[in-house]
């Protein structure tokens, strides 16, 4: 069943959803299981260019921006014994498909609606959809109240202006409210400590592997463990965006199976979460494999575990651990391990452990990225180089050698006490898709800033005076260029003050009114649609 019925999915998308909505038979997931998957949108689809979500996307932190090429599937699967059925089991999945990566929000929502849906029927889904129709737009930074089946979820979507690592608290409503409300502490975060617990001693090495976009496989006993671990890995380099593909749950039926498991070329830069034992054989040529047992919160401190050699990974029965021959660039930070071990001994709540771990990853990522931010900011031309009568100047080229020279005085040592081969880590990172994605978005921001400064420079000129000294042809050319500038500012959402745009529009009108009537008529009609 697809709901709402008018939703359009291609046959390929339907097939992918069907296979990804159920655990592999070997997982033996009895009872209720929740997990998430991610799949490619079919290429024939029209992507709505000026979609409402795209405007909201601007205010999101980079790691929460939606990727137009992918959908997320959020699954609630139930498998219970039922003698009245031919197979002896009731097996059903309710799946929510969205472009938005708000894992915690949709997980919470499914927890509310799926059990009731299994008891009732499709009419119940209709009621849920009419609730969702009443939801306000997902505006970042606002406190949102989302009604669903008699309760109200209260949450806030982060914005790019939030200080990284801080989550403004959404308070629970007073009991005086007529409806039961539920305040969500986050829309997108997973329980980081629980996910990293099985590979506790290797968190820093895993951070390096994710940062460098290395091919990684997570082999887990069930889709919930594989999907949570993949999502935790992707989020560990936040506020950097992980720019390669990642699949929280991947099966042998996936349309990209051949592409990702071929041995004719090197494994792609992708993180896969798998549960089928077949993958132990198919992916044994991959350079980094994380093998996870059942995720349980440790009642005791995990024992020190060495990184295992890849040749020892022959089957999915192999012991949990990290199988790789990778040598980390940075020395191990013993302090974080001690801090988390102490937390385990003192029975510190897992939420508190996750906060410590998230802060550790954030500080590590920021120490790494600040020198790059500083160098890239220096590629911006000086404001005095911006002339209203010339095109905006270009950014200077990124030079790896020049950047490396800055590290001696302004490198990560200013904010991190970690020793090791930082230079080697940067060299490797500059070849990765994560650097490419980060640099492109910086380039775009800076180019837009230059366009905005150019617009302001134009506004501060006496354009009417200029037009009186030039021919009609040159004046008409200027008017058309200025109109294009205004359209571009709107289309690309340039960081320009509204007053500047109004001032420019006034300049245009004044120039047109100084021209002969026949030209006025033509120019007033041009560019207004």
DSSP string computed for 44-110 = TSPPPTT-HHHHHHTTS-GGGS--TTEEEEEEEEEEEE-TTSTTSEEEEEEEEEESS--HHHHHHHH
**Which has the closest alpha carbon to 319: 288, 287, 289, 274?**
289
| Model confidence, pTM | 0.88
> What pLDDT is stored for residue 316 in this prediction?
46
> CB atoms < 10 A from the CB of 8, how many?
7
Give the pLDDT of residue 49.
44
Within a domain: residue 228?
yes
User: In total, how many domains does the chain have?
Assistant: 4
**E strands, 138-186, where?**
143-148, 151-156, 180-183
- Asked if residue 378 and residue 337 are part of one domain, the reply reads no
Domain assignment present for residue 139? The answer is no
pLDDT of residue 44: 63
Render pLDDT for 87-121 as a digit per residue (tens, 0 to 9). 888 889 999 999 999 999 999 999 999 999 998 87
Per the domain annotation, does 478 fall within a domain? yes
Do 291 and 312 belong together in one domain?
A: yes
Based on the domain organization, do 110 and 259 belong to the same domain?
A: no
Residues 369 and 491 in one domain: no
- Residues 271-283: pLDDT tens digits? 999 998 888 888 8
321 and 210, same domain (yes or no): yes
Mean pLDDT, the chain, integer: 85
What is the reported pLDDT for 295? 55
Average pLDDT over residues 438-464: 87
121 shares a domain with 18: yes
207 and 327: one domain?
yes
Residue 63 falls within a domain, yes or no?
yes
**pLDDT top residue among 415 and 526:** 415
Map tokens 């002896």 to a residue: 88
Distance of CA 380 to the CA centre of its chain: 27
| 205 plus 116 within the same structural domain | no
Residue where one domain finishes, among candidates 406, 430, 454? 430
Which residue range forms the structural domain that includes residue 519?
462-526
Q: Is residue 171 part of a domain?
A: no
Whether 385 and 348 map to the same domain: the answer is no
Lowest mean pLDDT among 160-164, 232-236, 518-522: 518-522
512 within a domain of the structure (yes/no): yes
Are 203 and 256 in a shared domain?
yes
Check: CB of residue 140 under 8 Å from CB of residue 59. Answer: yes
Range 48-55 average pLDDT: 59
Task: Choose the final residue of a domain: 352, 368, 401.
Answer: 352
Is 144 contained in some domain?
Answer: no
pLDDT at 296: 55
**Last residue in a domain, options 308, 331, 352:** 352
Task: Flag whether pLDDT at 342 surpasses 60.
Answer: yes
DSSP for residue 330: B
pLDDT band at 311 (very low <50, low <70, confident <90, very high): low
Instruction: Tell me how far apart the alpha carbons of residues 331 and 193 are, in angstroms, rounded to a whole number.
Output: 21
Q: Are residues 362 and 492 in the same domain?
A: no
pLDDT at 458: 81
**Same structural domain for residues 275 and 385?**
no
Structure-token pair, residue 294? 């059942």
Residue 145 counted as domain residue: no
pLDDT in tens, 488-521: 888 888 888 888 888 888 888 888 877 787 777 7
Judged against a pLDDT cut of 80, whether residue 180 lies above it is answered with no
CATH number of the domain enclosing 287: 3.40.50
């Amino acid at each position: 069943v697809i709901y709402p019925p008018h939703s359009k999915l291609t046959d390929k998308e339907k097939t992918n959803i069907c296979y990804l909505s159920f655990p592999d038979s070997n997982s033996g997931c009895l009872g209720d299981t929740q997990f998430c998957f991610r799949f490619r949108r079919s290429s024939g689809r029209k992507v709505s260019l000026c979609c409402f979500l795209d405007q909201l996307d601007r205010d999101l932190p980079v790691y929460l921006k939606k990727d137009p090429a992918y959908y997320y599937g959020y699954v609630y699967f139930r498998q219970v014994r039922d003698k009245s059925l031919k197979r002896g089991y009731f097996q059903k999945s309710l799946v929510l498909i969205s472009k938005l990566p708000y894992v915690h929000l949709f997980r919470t929502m499914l927890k509310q609606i799926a059990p009731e849906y299994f008891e009732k029927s499709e009419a119940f889904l209709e009621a849920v959809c009419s609730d969702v129709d009443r939801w306000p737009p997902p505006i970042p930074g606002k406190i949102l109240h989302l009604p669903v089946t008699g309760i109200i979820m209260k949450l806030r979507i982060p914005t790019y202006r939030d200080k990284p690592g801080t989550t403004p608290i959404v308070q629970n409503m007073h009991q005086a409210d007529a409806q039961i409300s539920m305040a969500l502490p986050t829309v997108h975060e997973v329980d980081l400590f629980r996910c990293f617990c099985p590979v506790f001693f290797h968190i820093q090495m895993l951070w390096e592997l994710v940062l460098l976009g290395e091919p990684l496989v997570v082999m887990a006993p069930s889709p919930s463990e594989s999907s949570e671990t993949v999502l935790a890995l992707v989020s560990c380099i936040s506020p950097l965006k992980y720019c390669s593909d990642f699949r929280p749950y991947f099966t042998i039926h996936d349309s990209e199976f051949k592409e990702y498991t071929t041995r004719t070329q090197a494994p792609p830069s992708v993180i896969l979460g798998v549960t089928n034992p077949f993958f132990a054989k198919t992916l044994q040529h991959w350079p980094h494999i994380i093998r996870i047992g059942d995720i349980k919160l440790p009642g005791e401190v995990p024992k020190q575990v060495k990184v295992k050699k890849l040749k020892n990974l022959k089957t999915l029965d192999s012991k949990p651990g990290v199988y790789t021959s990778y040598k980390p660039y940075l020395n191990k930070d013993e302090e974080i391990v001690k801090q988390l071990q102490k937390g385990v001994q003192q029975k510190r709540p897992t939420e508190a452990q996750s906060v410590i771990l998230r802060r550790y990853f954030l500080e590590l990522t920021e120490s790494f990225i600040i020198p790059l931010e500083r160098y890239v900011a220096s590629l911006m031309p000086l404001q005095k180089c911006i002339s209203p009568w010339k095109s905006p100047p270009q950014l200077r080229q990124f030079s790896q050698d020049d950047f490396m020279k800055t590290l001696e005085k302004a490198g990560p040592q200013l904010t991190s006490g970690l020793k090791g081969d930082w230079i080697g880590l940067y060299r490797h990172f500059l070849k990765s898709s994560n650097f490419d994605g980060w640099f492109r978005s910086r380039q775009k921001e800076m180019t837009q800033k230059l366009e905005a400064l150019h617009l302001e420079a134009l506004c501060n000129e006496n354009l009417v005076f200029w037009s009186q000294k030039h021919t009609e042809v040159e004046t008409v050319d200027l008017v058309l260029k200025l109109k294009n500038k205004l359209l571009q500012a709107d289309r690309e959402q340039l960081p320009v003050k509204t007053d500047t745009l109004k001032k420019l529009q006034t300049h245009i009108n004044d120039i047109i009114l100084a021209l002969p009537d026949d030209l006025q008529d033509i120019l007033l009609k041009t560019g207004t649609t």
